[in-house]
Each structure stands twice: as C-alpha cells, then as structure tokens.
Structure 1
C-alpha cells in the first residue's frame, strides 16, 4: 500500500494517493504510518487542516516516532508560509530562480514527503543564491539525518542552531540527531526548548516523557505526563499508554491497569498496549482476569493477529490451553500463516511429528518457500530420507531469485553436512565463497616477527586505565564471547564491524607497512586510537575494543606506547575454525578464494597467537571456547573463571554453530588443509588427530 501511495505522490496524482491512504487507514486504524501517509497525500493536495489532523492522529498512536515529529515540523512550516505549498513554491521558483525562501520551503516539503534526493537538490539550488545562510544547515543536517549519518547531522545542525537558536525546525532536527547518537540529555534539552517556543504540543511532551524514562528520571516523566493529560488535546490513547508504561516503571501495576484496561476496547490490536497489559497482569498474578479480558476483546475483534498472540501468551507453553487457543485462532483465521506456524510448533512440542509436517506442507501450499514451513519439511526429510532433504533445498534454490541464493546455499551446505555428505557440503560452501569474494575484504597482511621486540613501557602504579582488546580469527566464535561480555559491560564496542567503524590504525590493513617504514610511529598509532574514543562514547581509555584483525606486528606500537593494554584471543581447535569459516563465514567479511589459501592464512595467524603466548609478548589471555561455543551458561562460566567477574546470563549466543570435533568428519576431503593446521593445533594444546 505504501508503494502505491509513493508512486502516486511522485506523479502528483494526489487524488489517487488520498484514496489509497484512506483505504489503508480504514483497514488498519491503529497503524500510525497509515495516518502519516494520508497526511502526506492531503498535504500535497493542499488540504493543510486535514493533513494536520491526520499527523496528530499518527502522533497520538506513536508519540515517540522521530520520523512523525520531523514530518509534523515540515507540515507546520508549510502551513505558516503558504496555503498550497507545493504548487505555489513551484510557481515561485519558475518565475524567480533567485527566490531563496521558495527553494528552502520546497526543500522542507520534500523532506516531509521523504524525497531526500529532491531536498538535497533544492538545498544546492538555494546555496547558489545565499551560500552563507544558516537555514541551509537545516536542510543539509536533515538530509544527513535521514540518510543515517548522525555524526554529520549533529555537527551541521549544532552549528546552524547556534546561529538560529530559536528556530523550532532546527531544534526538532537537532533533538533527533542527538537521539541518533543516544545523547538523551541533550535531546531532551533541545525538545524542551521547542516546547517553550510552541507550548501547545502534547505529542512532543509525550516524547519528553519517554526521554525522561529512558534516563531513569521517573519523577520528571510523571510531572511532564500530568501536564500532557491536563491539556485539552492531551488525553489521548497514546498518552494513556505512556501513563501505563510509567506506572509499570514505577512499580505500580495496579495503577497501570487503570490507564491501560480501557485502551483494550479503543485499541484492541495495539501491540505496545497489549505488551504493557500482559506485564501488569503478570505482576499482579491476575492471569484469569487477563484470559477473560482478552477473550472478551477477541469476541468483538477476532481478526487481530496481535490480540491472538497476547491471548496465547497467557496460556502455559505447550499446554492444552495453548492448543485450544490456537485452534480458536485458526477457526477465526483459517489461512493465517502465523496461526498455522503456532499450531505446527505445538505439534512438535507434543511430539506429533507427522501432524507438524502436515501443517508445514499446508503453510508452503499457501506461501511457497515460506521459511518456517520449508525448514520443518526439511527436518522431516532429514529424519527419514536425508538425500531427499538435500534435493528439496536444491529445488528451492532453483526456484528462488538470485538474490536469495547465498542464504539458501548456506542452508544447503548445512543440510548436506547433516545428511552425511561432507564432499558435497564443502563444494557448496566453496562455491558460495567464490561468488562472494569480489565484494569482500582481502585477507589482512601478515608480518614476520622482528629479530627483537621493542621493550615494554612502564605502567604507572596509579594509572587507572586498563583497555582490553578482544580478537579471534575467523571460525573462532569470538562473536559469541563478545555477546556475553556485552551483556556485562557498557564499554564494549563492536562498531568496527558496523556501518561507521572508527577510522584508526586498528581498522586499516596498511598499518603494518606504515609501522615498518616509520610513516606511523608507535606514539601516533596509540594517540590516534585514544583520540577516537570520545566519538565512540568512551570518556576515558577504559574500553573493551573488539578488533577487526590482529597481527603481532601491532605490538611494535602497543608494547612501548600502550603497555597497560590487555589482549583476549578466542580460539578453538584450528581445524574446527577452518571448517566453521568455510561453512558459516565470519564476523569480518574476508574473501576466501580457496580452502588451501584460507588454511594457510589461518595457520599463520594462529602461529602468531602461539608465539604471543609462548614468548609472553603482551599481557594476554588465550580463551579456549570449544566446549562453550553453543552453551550460553558454559560461556558465562568460562568468562567468570577467566576474569573473576559474574556475567549476566544471555538466552542465546546466536545461530547454532558446528560442535567441537566436527572437523573429523572432513578429515578426508580437507586432509591437505588440515595438514597445514595440525602443527599449530598441537602448539595450542589440541590433539594431532
């Protein structure tokens, strides 16, 4: 539906857009995006009052949606400056190409309708007329924010806001830029300034409530919320939901129910309200009341997916009651795939494999290729006819679009592995690596050990900084270690694997060469790393930094310039590491062109780890995680033993991986590759066979 509306708006066919949006609103009245797109269509049509009403309805349903607030700001701008904004501004710029205000307003309207490229183009046009105007910063900053570049948005908008401190549009955008950087106190300050400039804004006050809650200031949130509910237009379902959330956060589930219970009739399918209600009922021990209230709502609205999920959540997992609820769900919505999936899982819980497979086949008959059904069918085939399971997945690949092939081939390899076909699995994995290699990083360079290492620097007794680096070669499972560490630490940083990694020497494969030819000194290396920590949310040097790669040659800088640092290296049996790398990839998207190349590179990387340990080149810990790689509790215990600290439990370490010793199934098909790895495996304490 959204695509239909966008296409109509692009063609300036606002009547078509309005009709489509109204149809969406009628079908999903609790969906804020439906009201949002209706507002956009009405805005383009020139019906500003109706557009305002629609965007306020969207904000009432989702008062903490940043995009809705930005759109609201754009709509307010359009209403202040011109009635029929789009057409009038087009006429103005056609008549006077040097009309700065017209370009600027058109750019704001383009932002409001999510046309980021057009907003950027109009900003450039305006810059030709008045290149030094701070209002250009508003456009540039908002464009950067919409494109996910929060750092640039924050810099541009901060500078523009200093020149126009009372511009609500800038303050709106600046607040969202702070939010994108998780700087909650600064975001709250910006939004409070907007409220001062525009007091009659209950939706924005609702956002202030959320911000106060996220910072742990329940008292401030309660005060703001009371102000909102006392406003003529403030007592809305969205605000009442916030009130219920606040009462729950304050440990008052009974008061939360007072706010939330009436919303079950007003917003029976609203997921956020249902989740809060379930929490309140559970804390009060009122499961019977929950069953009664939800059944009453379902009697009136039997087609609401989230309402059925809430009712199922009250039933004990796998119980006869759960079965009865799902059967009622299917009676009301017989072809609803999530209901069928719930029934399939219940059959499995009750060990009725045949019935579960039958439901799975019904699911894929309704939606061919649906993952839940296809996976259950493959599991059934693996149990009775493994080669048929392989053929089934291959048929799915043959029928799927090219874009889906990589993920399906990973699955095919796993099924071939489980079917006892190691040669076929290996061929599948290597083919996939070959296809992906052109789009991946080259294997990092590896340096030879110097004849003599620089001496370790002295660590002052009063130095409180103890930065910790974490690394594991591909296949080590280091990401599973990081999952547990992150649960217990606010200073762990995994941004080197994200879209905006730090631009320091640890991130650059040319660092070894620059250290070797003295174009980068040890002091510059470490200072550059330290200088980048504040932008990563680290005020001092105490950070747990998950590294993209490691080479002992980095110690040429770390030994003299960062002696207080520590290194944790995750390892498994090197042959298991190679197999997992080939089968499942690695957090660092490194190119693999052949199994032999990968094995030789991995052997050299692990030989460096052995040298690090044997020669005690740097304060370090070799963390062998073979027996904990698929066990969250065991991983937590391993880290507790290593660090003397208790780590919070985690429910999962991620998708399942190959168990320890699985490499032996591939001893024949990878014999030459394992021969490269066996010597270093023995050095690290693993058996030679």
Structure 2
C-alpha cells in the first residue's frame, strides 16, 4: 500500500510521491501513515509549511505515536540558518555554507527511511561546516536513538543542551532520549519547557502520554480535555482521552468519548476494543447493540464490528448464533465467523455440526491449527484409528519443530483414544525427555523437619491471606482461573516473566530454613515487602506458589498464622498421567515417568503429613470428579475459602482431561511409576489399585 510512495521518495521523485500519498489519503482519510509519507514528500520538495501541516494531520490521527512527533521535530530543524560566525567558519574550510541546511535535511530523510550509513555520512559533512551547531547535535542524537543507542543519544544531546539551554530543537530531541532511557519524568519536564516556548497541540498529546505512563491516567486525560473544544478534534484524539479515562477508572466519561470516537472511525480496531470495554464496565449492553447495528449495516464486511457485536450476547446463546448467521451471510466462508459458529455448536453439544464446520475450515485454509484440532477431536470420538492417521499425516508434512512437538503430543492422545496406551506413554515420555534442557529443574524437597514452632495468635482484623499450590497434573490452573474470574486477589506473577524476588520464589529456601541459614521471620518480612510492587493494596492476597515444602511452616506458623494453604489434588497416578499427556502451568522438567513419580511422591507425602497432622490451616480441593465442570470447581473453591464464587461463563481453555481413574489404562506401561505413587495415593484417600 505504501511501497510506491516509499520508492518515489528514495528516488527523489517528490512530486510523484506526494501525488501517490494524496491519492491514498483520499481513499483512506484516517490513515496516519499516509499523512506522514505526504509530509516526507512535501519536505523533500522544499515545501516546509505544507509538510508541517501534513505531519500535524498525522499526529491528529495518531496523537500518541512517538515516531510522528520525532519527525515533526526534524521539520522544526529545517528553517534555521547559520549565524555570521558559522558562515565565516564555513568559508574558512572552503565549503559552501549554503549547503549546510541541505546536508541536515538529507541526513534527516535518510534517518527516517532507515538508511543510517548515509545519514551518518551526511551529518559528518554538516559537522565539518559547523561542528557546534545545535542542528548537528540534534540529528546525531536522533540518529543514535534510531540505531538503538539511547545512551549515546543522551550524552550528545545533554552536552549540546548545556551549551544551548534554550534551544527548542535540542530540547525536543533530548525529551525523546529521556523516553528511550525510561526517564519519563525528565522527558515530561523537557517537553513542558518546550511547550512554554512553542505552544501546540501535538506536543501536549506527547506530554499527556508521558503522564499516563507514569501512572497518572486521570491527569493525562485532563491534560488533553481542553483540546476537545476545538471543532477539528479528531476521533483519534477522543479515543486517546477515552483510553486514559478508562485506565483512570472514570468509565462513564470514557464511554461517552469512545462512543463518539467510534462513530467517527467505525472500523478502527483499537477504538472498538476500548469502547467495548467501556460498555462492559458500565453495563451498557443495550447501547452497545444500538450503536453497533447501524454501523454493521454500513460496513457489513468489517470483522472487527462483528467481533464487538458478539461480545454483547450471552456466550453460545441463540442470540449469539443469530449474530453469527448474519455475519456469515455478509462474509460467506470467512474463517473466524465459521470458527464462532463451530464454537456455538460445540457448547450446545452439537458436536457433529461443529466437526463439519471444522472440516470445512481445513478445506478453506489447510493446516489451520484450531480447526485441525477440532477435526482430530471429532475423529477421536468416532474413528480413533483415523485420528491417528490424520495426525501422522500432518506430522509428515510439518516443517516447524514447534509444530512437530505439538503434533507429537496430540499423537499420544490419539493413541490413547485408539486403545494403544503403550504407544501413547512412549510418545509422551520421549517428548518430555527431549525437553529437559529447556525446562526448570524439579524443586528439591526436605527429607525431614525439625520440631515446628507453635502457631502464633491470629492478628485481629487480619486481611485474607492464602497460598495456592498444586503439583503438576493437579489442574491447579483451573482453580486459579476460577479465582481470577471471580476477581479474587489472586497473584500469578510467580509463573510469569517478572516474578517477585522474595525467598519463597527461590530454590534452596526450604533447605535454608531447615539448616538455620535463613531466618523464618526474615522470609515473611521479605514476602510482605514485595506486596506493593506486586499491586497488593489492602493486604488481601492469594499467592500462587511454584512449589510447596512443609519447611515453609517454620516461618508461616509463627509469623503468618492468619495464612491458609489451598492445595489442588487428584489421584497422584492420574496427576502423573495428566502431566505426561498435557504438561503443566509451570514448565518443570520430566526426565522420565519414574523420576517424576519419585519427585511427586515426596511432594505429595508432605501434603499428606500436613493434612493428617493439621500442621497449618489448609483446604484440599479435590478435582478428580469435577475437572471438566467449571461450576463444580467454583463451588469447591468457594467452600475452601468460605465464600461464594461465580463459575466461569464457559469451559476452561484446552481439551477436556482424562476421566478420574484413567490411570488404570496405563497400569502396564507405567507400572513402575504407579508402584512408586500408590502408597502416597493411599495416604491421601485413594485406593491402592
């Protein structure tokens, strides 16, 4: 879409580029990139004022797009002239001072199109003419930013700003350098000083975004609100302010603005997402339907509008089915619409109809992952041998290693459905053994505990504090999903990319508590110290743990007596089978079924001891018979916490798990592992065989 314009710019055909950009803008008036390219073409042609108008139009359409503000800063460089001393300096070097602005402009254009080597050559030439000119430093700093070197940019621009403290060009570039380094408060200060010198709406939008990124979304919205008095205020500006209002929790104000923004640009996905969230928060489903229906009549081929419309009908209801039928009438054989129809059939138990649609999707789009899985699931119910053949056929054609691994895991499930447990167990065990180097080592468990301290007195009016844990295969993730759906204070960050740095997160903590090298009171203090950074405001927390060891009771009994442990549990042999077949929420290594069984026996042995001896307030949530029943999981979890929890609106993601007792099908191929687990299973209340 933009290639012809970019090609013309590279050839220096500015008139051709401008004509192509104007044609694109005429067909897509809300396209900020088209306005940006028009600005570049006009700038290349020497029409600075028109170029500035075009870049301002781009910023109006995308006011929080930093790259547009950076290009506007480049335009501000263009009109500046050398003073007499610089001109004299240039003459002494034998160079034409009149070429300086041209070198600067060409360097900026080269930077904008990513030709950094050319930009460096040009700015070096400009620097020979006037080495201390602020434009040189501004371009050098901007070039360093584009090349991913914010430290160098900040050094160059800070030094130049010290020489020219009131130079707006440098202050502009310095603000972006601060942003790149994450120094948002300094960036805000730089841009505010620049705004005092050069009042303008584009700069105010940048400041508002910086305020929002510092955690003050309400102030950011207030910063921009006065701009709405301008009759030329764009839908993008309304969307931006509405997003800030949403983030600040001012939902009614957000809804009004975002609805107006949607009417101005009804096919913008970002606006649709934001206004849909505002409608959801304010309970305005009727307004959502009334607003979206006329837009669908005007734009029946826009998938984003159909997605939004579906949000405001009960999941898998007749009303939702009616919306999907209209969607398919407007966009026949559109795969996402077919997927939505198949999902509704499946939720209603109309499995044959869902399977037929999935097969149609694979014909329209061969290799479509979710449709292929639905087809395979259908074959496992009706023709399991054919399911094996289909997966083997997909495996033979797959070239991506990740897809191959996924298909081999599915192949094991098809072997299970076809009554081949030996082949299934061998397939899964081989996959896990291959993945050991990429997985987390299994946490070590303490062999024995010293004498436990007494449980301390429960503090009055202590906030609700709980820990959640389940070994792999327990389906603890479904308990967590239920808690999250109920807006309970669940924290799952220990499983993510930015876990807390407290001792409970670290391997070796249990052993350190037992041998005395870690002070129990210190552990609890460190745990509490992470709460603010984790978003805990009132002390209420359900902390999902990576591991459990009864050694933690050395700290929890005396120093956190108000705590409670929730343990998700199934028959340990079913848990091992589930771990093999489906993996777990924490990517622990599974070297072999036998090694995994030994580790699980030790871990669950500690749970059995905790339960039998009542070592700490706890509840065991048994999921054996309710693993695939969201309402039952909600009831069991609510009973464990003495609260009433709503069930999930539909089944958790992922395939249904094997029924309770399915481990017996694998009694022969996993005999050694099950022999290891049977004693602890019996201690936990399950039959020996």
After superposition, the CA RMSD in angstroms is 5.2
Q: Does 1:667 align with 2:659?
A: no
- Per-residue deviation, residues 404-437 of structure 1 (Å, max 9, x unmatched): 2233333333333333332222222222212221
Moved more, 544-553 or 130-139: 130-139
Distance 1:196 1:221, change over 3 A: farther
Q: CA deviation at 1:445?
A: 1.0
Q: Which residue of 1 aligns with 2:631?
A: 633
Q: Is the 8 A contact 2:157 2:174 kept in 1?
A: no
Distance 1:338 1:570, change over 3 A: closer
Q: Which runs of 5+ in 2 are unaligned?
A: 80-103, 109-118
Moved more, 307-316 or 409-418: 307-316
Q: Does 1:297 align with 2:328?
A: no
- Per-residue deviation, residues 85-117 of structure 1 (Å, max 9, x unmatched): 670673345665997965665444565xxx463
* TM-score after normalising by structure 1: 0.74
Aligned mates of 1:557, 1:357 — CA distance in 2: 53
Distance 1:21 1:575, change over 3 A: farther
Q: Which residue of 1 aligns with 2:111?
A: none
Corresponding residue SS for 1:427: helix
Q: Which residue of 2 aligns with 1:328?
A: 329
Distance 1:570 1:292, change over 3 A: closer
- Per-residue deviation, residues 118-172 of structure 1 (Å, max 9, x unmatched): 445655777999999999996776345xxxxxxxx3xx445xx2xx773128x9x
- Per-residue deviation, residues 334-387 of structure 1 (Å, max 9, x unmatched): 564334445656777899877765654443344320124323432443344211
The partner residue of 2:335 within 334, 337, 345 is 337
Q: Which residue of 1 aligns with 2:190?
A: 167
Q: CA deviation at 1:669?
A: 2.1
Aligned mates of 1:21, 1:609 — CA distance in 2: 70
Q: Which residue of 2 aligns with 1:459?
A: 457
Q: Which residue of 2 aligns with 1:433?
A: 432
Q: Does 1:117 align with 2:148?
A: yes
Q: Which residue of 2 aligns with 1:413?
A: 412
Aligned mates of 2:393, 2:5 — CA distance in 1: 36
Q: Is the 8 A contact 1:205 1:224 kept in 2?
A: no
Q: Is the 8 A contact 1:471 1:569 kept in 2?
A: yes
Corresponding residue SS for 1:623: strand
Corresponding residue SS for 1:568: strand
Q: Which residue of 2 aligns with 1:646?
A: 644
Q: CA deviation at 1:54?
A: 6.1
The partner residue of 1:555 within 553, 556, 580 is 553
Aligned mates of 2:133, 2:584 — CA distance in 1: 51
Q: CA deviation at 1:601?
A: 0.3
Distance 1:455 1:320, change over 3 A: closer
Distance 1:475 1:345, change over 3 A: closer
Q: Is the 8 A contact 2:32 2:61 kept in 1?
A: no
Distance 1:684 1:71, change over 3 A: same
Aligned mates of 1:474, 1:492 — CA distance in 2: 19
Distance 1:329 1:428, change over 3 A: farther
Q: Any residues of structure 2 matched to 1:365-404 within 5 Å, and which?
A: 365-400=363-398, 401-404=400-403
Q: Is the 8 A contact 2:521 2:555 kept in 1?
A: yes
Moved more, 86-95 or 524-533: 86-95
Q: CA deviation at 1:507?
A: 1.5
Aligned mates of 2:483, 2:346 — CA distance in 1: 34
Q: Does 1:75 align with 2:82?
A: no
Q: Which residue of 2 aligns with 1:174?
A: none
Q: CA deviation at 1:665?
A: 2.5
Q: Which runs of 5+ in 1 are unaligned?
A: 145-152, 172-192
* TM-score after normalising by structure 2: 0.74
Distance 1:623 1:313, change over 3 A: closer
Aligned mates of 2:543, 2:417 — CA distance in 1: 36
Distance 1:201 1:457, change over 3 A: same
Aligned mates of 1:295, 1:43 — CA distance in 2: 37
Aligned mates of 2:503, 2:553 — CA distance in 1: 13
Q: Is the 8 A contact 1:100 1:130 kept in 2?
A: no
Q: Is the 8 A contact 1:269 1:304 kept in 2?
A: no
Aligned mates of 1:290, 1:630 — CA distance in 2: 37
Q: Any residues of structure 2 matched to 1:148-163 within 5 Å, and which?
A: 153=182, 156-158=183-185, 161=186
Aligned mates of 2:560, 2:345 — CA distance in 1: 58
Q: Which residue of 2 aligns with 1:142?
A: 179
Q: CA deviation at 1:470?
A: 1.6
Aligned mates of 1:56, 1:364 — CA distance in 2: 46
Q: Which residue of 2 aligns with 1:204?
A: 205
Distance 1:477 1:108, change over 3 A: farther
Aligned mates of 1:684, 1:244 — CA distance in 2: 51
Q: Does 1:87 align with 2:107?
A: yes
Q: Which residue of 2 aligns with 1:179?
A: none
Aligned mates of 2:646, 2:198 — CA distance in 1: 44
Number of residue pairs matched by the alignment: 631
